[in-house]
């Protein structure tokens, strides 16, 4: 028998990342032995305690699954369905395990998204200290000028923080690449808006060393053992590959 903190136990059971599990606990959705518990540090044991989320009893730790998806536009990164909107997890209807996305892409952003049931893994990747570079290809409605590139590379205020891209490069007339580390909501769109560029398409093509490659839109595949390990020992030097960007 081993006592674990409730938030950690839920993350290991594949409910969500540890941080998201804390929110679920704070909001009163979790019961231990039939009693609502709002303290993530509460010690629990799968053999001794019955733990439920939204009244569904959780079975314990699960086999860990890791996928990369090429997200199509129009799908929300959400574990719950608002109204009858499409969510990314609809694309995993053939999987029986409870999965969730690692971080979020906006509804109309496409490209590389990691989907897992490993809350510790997700937590490590989305934590600000992970320092992982995310690379995007951005199509805009105008011709990109030197002035645009200068403003883009200055970054923008996103929430309470100034986000400065680690790399910006024009690819062709109305397309640029941008690399950011922060992982803040709408960050690329906000940076482009400050440069007065109107985005028509935004696609993530890389997270750390993990490259989207030729995976067709709407499809997913398991991460290889090597790809999973690359996040454990993430040095975050972009591998020389066709889709990765070099440092400025
Ligand atoms: N930045 C954005 O603005 N949107 C995304 O979906 C991802 C990064």
pLDDT of 2: 78
Among 45, 54, 94, 106, the active-site one is 106
Mutate to test the pocket of ligand 1, among 112, 177, 189 (most ligand atoms within 8 A of CB): 189
Mean pLDDT, rounded, of the chain: 91
Report the CATH number that the domain containing residue 46 is assigned in CATH: 3.10.290.10
The confidence score (pLDDT) of residue 114 equals 98
pLDDT, greater one: 207 or 233: 207
pLDDT of residue 235 exceeding 80, the answer is: no
What's residue 241's pLDDT? 37
| Containing structural domain, residue 45 | 4-57
Confidence of residue 247 (pLDDT cuts 50, 70, 90): very low
Q: Is residue 70 over pLDDT 90? A: yes
> Residue 31: beta bridge partners?
36, 52
Which among 42, 57, 72 is the end of a domain?
Answer: 57
State the Cα–Cα distance between residues 69 and 14, nearest whole angstrom.
18
Query: Average pLDDT in the 170-180 region?
Result: 98
Any idea what the CATH number is for the domain that residue 194 is in? 3.30.2350.10
Q: Show which of 22, 39, 57 is a domain's final residue.
A: 57
Tell me if residue 127 falls in helix, strand or coil: coil
Nearest-CA residue for ligand 1 atom 3 is 186
Per-residue confidence at 230, pLDDT binned at 50, 70, 90? confident
Confidence label for 233 from pLDDT (cuts 50, 70 and 90): low
- Give the number of domains in the chain: 2
Query: What are 70's two structure tokens?
Result: 């090429």
Which of 46-69 are b and which e, b meaning 16 or more Cβ less than 10 Å from the residue's Cβ?
Answer: beebebebeeeebeeeeeebbbbb
Angle at which helices 119-126 and 225-232 pack, to 10 degrees?
Answer: 50
- According to the model, what pLDDT value does residue 231 have? 81
| Contact criterion met (CB below 8 Å) for 99 and 89 | yes
Residue located nearest, by CA, to atom 4 of ligand 1? 186
Is residue 105 in a domain? no
Question: Which has the higher per-residue pLDDT, 120 or 76?
Answer: 76
Residue 33 placed within a domain: yes
**168 domain residue, yes or no:** yes
Residue 160: active-site member:
no
Answer with the one of 17, 38, 57 that is the final residue of a domain: 57
User: What pLDDT does residue 248 have?
Assistant: 34
Is 240 or 181 the better-scoring residue by pLDDT?
181
The predicted model gives 73-95 an average pLDDT of: 95
For residue 106, the ligand 1 atom closest to its alpha carbon is: 6
């Amino acid at each position: 028998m081993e006592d674990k903190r409730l938030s950690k136990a839920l993350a290991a059971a594949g409910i969500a990342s540890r941080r998201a599990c804390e929110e679920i606990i704070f909001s009163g959705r979790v019961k231990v032995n039939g009693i609502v518990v709002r303290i993530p540090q509460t010690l629990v044991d799968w053999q001794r305690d019955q733990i439920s989320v939204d009244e569904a009893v959780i079975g314990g730790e699960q086999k860990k699954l890791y996928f990369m998806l090429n997200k199509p536009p129009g799908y929300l990164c959400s574990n719950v369905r608002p109204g009858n909107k499409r969510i990314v997890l609809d694309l995993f209807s053939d999987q029986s395990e409870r999965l969730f996305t690692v971080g979020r892409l906006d509804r109309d952003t496409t490209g590389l998204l990691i989907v897992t049931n490993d809350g510790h893994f997700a937590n490590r990747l989305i934590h600000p200290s992970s320092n992982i570079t995310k690379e995007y290809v951005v199509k805009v409605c105008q011709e990109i000028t030197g002035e645009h590139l200068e403003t883009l590379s200055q970054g923008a205020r996103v929430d309470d923080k100034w986000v400065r891209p680690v790399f910006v490069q024009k690819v062709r007339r109305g397309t640029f690449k941008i690399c950011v580390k922060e992982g803040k909501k709408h960050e690329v769109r906000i940076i482009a808006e400050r440069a007065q560029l109107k985005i028509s398409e935004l696609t993530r093509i890389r997270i750390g060393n993990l490259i989207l490659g030729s995976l067709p839109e709407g499809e997913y595949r398991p991460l290889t053992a090597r790809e999973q390990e690359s996040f454990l020992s993430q040095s975050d030097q972009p591998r020389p590959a066709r889709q990765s960007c070099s440092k400025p």
